[in-house]
Copies of this chain bind each other. A is one copy, B any other.
Amino acid sequence: MYTIQEVSRKSGLSAHTLRYYEKEGLLRSVERSHGGIRQYTDEDLEALGLICCLKNTGMSLQEIARFMALTREGDQTLRERVSLLEKHQKRVIARMEEMQKHLDKVTWKLNFFSDKLQDYEQKKAESASARP
Contacts and interface: CB of A to CB of B under 8 A. Distances in A.
A10 interface: no
A106 B96 CA distance: 14
Contacts of A66: none
Nearest to A71: B113
Given A56-B102, A117-B78, A110 B96 contact: no
Contacts of A52: 102
Interface residues of A, number: 34
A116 to B, nearest CB: 6
* Chain copies in complex: 2
Interface string A54-78: 1011000000000000000001001
A112 to B, nearest CB: 10
A116 B75 contact: yes
Interface of A: 49-50, 52-54, 56-57, 75, 78-79, 81-82, 85-86, 88-89, 92-93, 96, 98-100, 102-103, 105-107, 109-110, 113-114, 116-117, 120
